Amino acid sequence: MDDIEWEIMRQNEEAEEAEDEDTKLQVVAVRLLTYLTRPELQPNPCEESVWQRPYHSENDCAFIMIMGLNVSAFDQILMAGFEESWNTMPIPRNDVAGTAAPCIYRQSLDAAGALGLVLHFLGSTMSEVSLQQIFALILTTTSQYINFSLSILLSTLRGIQDAGVIWPEGDKFEELTDLVIAWHPLLTGVFGTMDGLNLAVQVLKDQEIKNATYNVWLHEHFVSCMLAFASHGTVIACKLNAPGSWHDSQVAHPIYEKLQTATPEGYYLVTNTAFPCGTSQIEGHICAPMTQGHHLPADLTEGRNLEQFDRQLVYMPIWKANEQEEIWESFKNMLFSEQKAKDRVSQFHLMYST
C-alpha cells in the first residue's frame, strides 16, 4: 500500500469520528486528492519554505505585494501581541484541552510565518493548495493555522490604536480639508473620499446566496465593500461583505448615517457618480463630478467656475509627471486605441462652451 492510499484510509477513519463540519470538508478534499502530503512539500517549513525568501529579504515592496503591509507594519502587529498569543496559546484541536500549554517546538510555523500565512489568505483568492506550497504545510495544518491566526490577529488589531476605524471629530475635519486645499484650492470642505470594492467569491449551491452575490453589471459573484478614506489616507468608515447584488449606494448606507449625524456643515466626501449627492439626508455632504448632460448655469462666469471646480475633483497635477505624461506630451502621435486605453481624465471633463 503506497503513502497516498494509506493517507486516504486514515482520513476516511477520521471522517467517521469527525463532529465538526470543517473537518468533514477537509476529508472531502482529501478524497478528491486536492491536497499535498508531506513528501511533496519542503521538509522544514520554518527554514526552507517559499515564504522564507521574501520574509528574510525585509523588502517593503515585496511585503506590500504579497501581504498588503510594509515591513514596519508587519513587525508592529507581531510585537503588539500576535507573537505572544501564538507562543502562549494552544492551537484549538478536538484532542487538546483549551488550557493546555502550547508545544512551540512542534509547530510547523513560528509567529512570523503564521502572520504571513493569514495575510496571504486575507489578501488573495488563492486556494489552500497554493498556501500549502508557499508555506510547506499539509492541508489540515493549513486550515488549523489559518483559523487560529485569524482569531489572534483580530484580538491584536483591536489593541492597536492606529488600526482603529474612527470617524473624525472636531478640529480634525479642518486639518483634513487643509491637506486637500494644498493641492486643490477650490475644494474647500473636502475631508476624504469614498468608493466601493467588489471581492470575488466562490459560487455556492444555495440558490438564495447565489442570487444575492451575483452582480448583473459585472456578470460575476461578489461580496461588496464600501470604504471611506480621510485625506491623509486612513480608513475612517467601512461596510464589509454586503451582498454583491446591492448597489453602491445601498452598501454605503451606514456611511451616509455618519455624514448625516456626525459631520459638520460645510464638510463633504468626494465620490464617483454612482453615489447620490442630492438626497435630503446627505445633501451637501457628498460631491461627485458632473456627468454627461449635466445642466450648466446660463451665466458664463458661473459656468467656468463650475468647470474649474469639477476639474479639481478629478485631476491631480502630479499625474503629468509620471504615468500620464505620454498623454500630455505625445497625444497627437498616439494611435486612437492607445489614447482611449491610457486616458484616465477626460471622461470626467465637461467643456463649458460660450
pLDDT, tens digit (0-9, with 9 covering 90-100), for 98-133: 666 677 777 888 999 999 999 999 888 777 888 888
- In this prediction, residue 1 has a pLDDT band, given cuts at 50, 70 and 90, of very low
- In this prediction, residue 196 has a pLDDT band, given cuts at 50, 70 and 90, of confident
> Exposure pattern of 129-140 as b/e (b: 16+ CB <10 Å)?
eebbbbbbbbbb
In three-state form (DSSP H/G/I as H, E/B as E, the rest C), the secondary structure along the chain is CCHHHHHHHHHHHHHHHCCCHHHHHHHHHHHCCCCCCHHHCCCCHHHHCCCHHHHHHCCHHHHHHHHCCCHHHHHHHHHHHHHHHHHHCCCCECCECCCCCCCHHHCCCCHHHHHHHHHHHHHCCCCHHHHHHHHCCCHHHHHHHHHHHHHHHHHHHHCCHHHCCCCCCCCHHHHHHHHHHCCCCCCCCEEEEEEEEEEECCCCCCHHHHHHHEECCCCEEEEEEEEEEECCCCEEEEEEEEECCCCHHHHCHHHHHHHHHCCCCCCEEECCCCCCCCCCCCCCCEECCCCCCCCCCCCHHHHHHHHHHHHHHHCCHHHHHCCCHHHHHCHHHCCHHHHHHHCCCHHHCCCCCC
Q: Is the pLDDT of residue 4 over 50?
A: no
Among candidate residues 140, 161, 137, the one with its CA nearest the CA of residue 46: 137
- In this prediction, residue 26 has a pLDDT band, given cuts at 50, 70 and 90, of low
Task: Please report, for the chain, the start and end positions of each structural domain, with discontinuous segments joined by +.
Answer: 35-161, 172-287, 300-348
Q: pLDDT at position 323, please?
A: 54
How does the average pLDDT of the chain come out, rounded?
A: 79
d(C-alpha 277, C-alpha 188), whole Å: 17
Between residues 287 and 154, the one the model is more confident about: 154
Q: Is the pLDDT of residue 27 over 60?
A: no
Mean pLDDT in residue range 288-311: 75
Mean pLDDT in residue range 19-47: 63
- In this prediction, residue 235 has a pLDDT band, given cuts at 50, 70 and 90, of very high
Mean pLDDT in residue range 20-43: 61
Q: pLDDT at position 7, please?
A: 44
d(C-alpha 213, C-alpha 43), whole Å: 40
- In this prediction, residue 2 has a pLDDT band, given cuts at 50, 70 and 90, of very low
Q: pLDDT at position 324, please?
A: 59
Long-range residue pairs from 150-155, CB within 8 A, at least 24 positions apart, any chain: 150/118, 150/121, 152/81, 152/82, 152/85, 152/86, 152/89, 153/77, 153/82, 153/115, 153/118, 155/81, 155/85
Evaluate whether 224 touches 248 at the Cβ level (below 8 Å): yes
Between residues 276 and 193, the one the model is more confident about: 193
d(C-alpha 35, C-alpha 130), whole Å: 9
Q: pLDDT at position 282, please?
A: 67
d(C-alpha 142, C-alpha 163), whole Å: 26
Q: pLDDT at position 97, please?
A: 63
Q: pLDDT at position 345, please?
A: 54
d(C-alpha 114, C-alpha 120), whole Å: 10
Mean pLDDT in residue range 202-223: 84
pLDDT, tens digit (0-9, with 9 covering 90-100), for 249-293: 788 889 999 998 999 999 999 888 777 655 566 678 888 777 766
Mean pLDDT in residue range 200-214: 84
Mean pLDDT in residue range 196-221: 84
Evaluate whether 181 touches 231 at the Cβ level (below 8 Å): no
pLDDT, tens digit (0-9, with 9 covering 90-100), for 58-86: 999 989 988 989 999 999 999 999 999 99
Mean pLDDT in residue range 148-166: 91
Cell numbers describing residue 77: 502587529
Looking at the chain, the whole-number percentage of residues with pLDDT higher than 90 is 28
Q: Which of 124-133, 222-231, 283-292, 321-330 has the lowest mean pLDDT?
A: 321-330
